[in-house]
Amino acid sequence: MSQFRITLAQLNPTIGDIAGNIALMRQAAEQAVQEQAQMVVFPELSLTGYSPGDLLDELDFVERAVQGVDTLLAATREMPGLCWVIGAPMPCIGPGKALENCLLVLRDGQIVLRYAKQLLPTYNIFDERRHFEPGSDVAKVLRVGQTQIGFLICEDGWNDEGTAYPVNPFSRLADAAPDLVVSINASPSHIGQREHRHRLFAAASRRHKLPLVYVNQVGGHDQLIFDGASFVVSPQVGVVYEAPRFVESVTTLQWDGQRFLAGSGESLPPVAVEGLPVMEFYRRQIELGLRDYARRCQFRQAVVGCSGGIDSALTLALAVEVLGAENVVGITMPSRFSSEGSVSDSAVLCRNLGIRLFEHPIHNIVGQYESGFHTAFGQPLQGIALENLQARVRGTLLMEYSNSYGHLLLTTGNKSEISVGYCTLYGDTNGGLGLIGDLYKSEVFALCRHLNICAGRELIPQTIIDKEPSAELAPGQRDTDSLPPYPLLDTILQMLIEGERLGTDERSEVEEAYRRLTTEAEGQMLVARIRRMIARNEYKRRQAPPILRVRGRAFGSGRQMPIAAHYT
């Protein structure tokens, strides 16, 4: 068998920007030609970006996608002999839904192969069956030179153990005896997912004795972040090449019938079994999510309510790394209940980060509300209503600034607080995007320490990290007045919200701590109380801004629970 040269085009398409995505694909194809590749492979739905959602219900959008395929066909005539493996929604041939999620191989102005995705995920963040009809249970192969290539689309390769679907496209493809398998993907990233992909596809490659090329999308799309990390697998060795994570990458490799080599013909360096350390993964995932969200929504600047607490400190630090200190603003809004440190710690933080801090006290505004409430209703404003009022005044002021200056307001809630409703609707939940809403409070502390270590200095003041958490909405208030200590709370939340979706190592530790807690009546009562709090506050989460997903089950599209329901 002669050498087969293949280009892995790990791109960052924008959903709906068909012309822009075509430009990215064309540029990658030109590089493939220069590097004498016979095939260039793009991610799943690379033409439209993944996932277009209900844009697929709009006739004009589908027409533009079909026209986009025609534009790509014209481009292939300019690069004769090169096979373009693209992903695109195509009109369904036959009964059922109007569209299929297709892999197309384009060459010399023609569609030389069409394969429709067979396994359409409808779980967690996925809802492909909403728009697509499953493809037929057939294998699709194409001979390119002396190499027989078989094709899969994402989920089609994830069922090789046969536990999730009655159909196994990988096994069917193996029966067709290709020399090489190409899989196009849009696999979102979360903690542990990279290692899970490696284990699953290495096992399938070994079982079927088939080498595999896995090309993934990269970039942030609303809640979802795609890490790229495209890879190739040798049946004998396992993963032998991995593209960089969290960045675009276009790389040409050789396959000589026995092993993969670099485009230059040299041996490939070994691939690390372990991925990034957990905190560095969180950092890079969140930063890519913010960068693409701001860019695609046309924001260059961000504003954050700076309370002197750890959540707003971490949010500001991450925003500065992505947007630059000159494009990030903090606003501190002390009330009569605020501690001295809420302002002084905010000042030190913003000085460390090199950003501007505005001070806008709210005690006079809150006082006017209190007076008006008493006049109108004949009783004082007090308790939870007064506490929430302060948060809502702050949220309103932040939105005023956002509207006046065009900054993206970043909300600062973490997963622990969002889970149990320890936040104020239309107050601290205001904003366009939540950076840390999928991090438990314990992880917030850990990521702050990680940022300081990476910087080699106190980006986030130690006084903020050491400070006991408090909303500071009432005299002497502490989070532990109404919540258990965060390490304990986080253990309970991880079991109740994520459960089996926790990583293997993390799950065993959490399960053991949870088991010990629930062996006694007091622990059982605490778990029942937290479960009720999670259920009771679903209405708040439904109205909150999108949060960037870093874990296996995030609030939003990944956890769809009813509001008006009875929970035991």
Catalytic residues: 44, 117, 154
Using DSSP, state whether 440 is helix, strand or coil. coil
- Strands (E) across 322-403 are located at 328-332, 356-359
Q: Distance between CA atoms of 105 and 87, rounded to whole angstroms?
A: 9
| SS3 call for 547 | strand
Q: Read off the tokens for 173.
A: 């493809």
- In this structure, how many other beta carbons lie within 10 angstroms of the beta carbon of residue 283? 20
Output the CA–CA distances (angstroms, integers) from residue 43 to 24, 148, 394, in the order listed.
Answer: 12, 20, 43
The number of residues in the chain equals: 568
DSSP assignment letter at 132: B
Instruction: Produce one character per residue of 529-546: b if its CB has 16 or more CB atoms within 10 Å, e if not.
Output: ebbebbbebbebbeebbb
Structure tokens at 140: 């699709």
What is the H or E stretch that residue 234 is in? strand 231-234
The conformation of residue 131, written as its DSSP 8-state character, comes to T
DSSP string, 218-283: EEEETTEEEEB--EEEETTTEEEEEPPBSS-EEEEEEE-SS-EEETTSPPPPPPPSS-S-HHHHHH
Tokens describing residue 463: 């006084």
Task: Retrieve residue 230's tokens.
Answer: 């495209």
- Provide the pairing of β-strand 4-10 with 249-255: antiparallel
> Do the beta carbons of residue 281 and residue 293 sit within 8 Å?
no
Question: Is residue 51 reached through a cis peptide bond, with omega within 30 degrees of 0 on the bond before it?
Answer: yes
Burial of 239 (0-12, 13-18, 19+ CB in 10 A): buried
